[in-house]
């Protein structure tokens, strides 16, 4: 069960990576990310942040998969707790953003992601 939930978490990370790629490609989704301060496409600096987000999401997905024992548990356990911390920070920021569109889209998603990551880490102890 823990591996399945870790896989679901990783799938949600992958879906978020897809969203970040759309931002980098210039789709007009600025109101749904980075505080919703930009309508339309993100400027170059916002696209760089989206690219950095992809790296963090990959780290988070791999950390939780490893903690669940997927593929033999290839990373130290503390990396999973790092992913939980990043998920908690992301979740909090999405709940407190001024952007109603961002909050409506990402707050529920990041809440589920946080719950999944925390559950995996607690159960994989």
Per the structure, the count of domains in the chain is 1
- Per-residue pLDDT tens for 19-53? 999 999 999 999 999 999 899 999 999 999 999 99
Domain enclosing residue 31, as ranges: 2-123
Residue-level pLDDT at 39: 92
Distance separating alpha carbons of residues 12 and 25, to the nearest angstrom: 20
User: Tokens 């879906």 belong to which residue?
Assistant: 15
State how far Cα 59 lies from the chain centre: 10
Indicate the DSSP class of residue 97.
-
CA-wise closest residue to 20 among 44, 62, 52:
52
**Of the candidates 35, 124, 23, 34, the residue with the CA atom closest to the CA atom of residue 83:** 124
Token look-up 């990310």 returns 33
Sign, CA dihedral 71-12-120-61, equals positive
- Residue 20 phi/psi, 5-degree rounding, is -65, -40
Q: Does 69 have pLDDT greater than 80? A: yes
Question: Can you give the pTM of this predicted structure?
Answer: 0.93
Q: Determine the average pLDDT of the residues in 63-75.
A: 88
Q: What pLDDT was estimated at residue 73?
A: 75
């Amino acid at each position: 069960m823990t591996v399945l939930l870790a896989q679901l978490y990783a799938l949600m990370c992958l879906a978020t990576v897809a969203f970040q790629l759309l931002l980098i490609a210039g789709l007009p989704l600025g109101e749904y990310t980075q505080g919703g301060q930009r309508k339309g496409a993100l400027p170059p600096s916002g696209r760089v942040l989206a690219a950095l987000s992809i790296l963090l999401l990959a780290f988070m997905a791999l950390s939780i998969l490893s903690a669940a024992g997927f593929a033999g548990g290839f990373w130290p356990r503390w990396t999973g707790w790092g992913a939980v911390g990043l998920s908690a920070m992301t979740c909090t920021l999405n709940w407190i953003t001024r952007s109603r569109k961002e909050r409506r889209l990402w707050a529920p998603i990041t809440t589920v992601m946080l719950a999944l990551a925390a559950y995996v880490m607690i159960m994989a102890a």
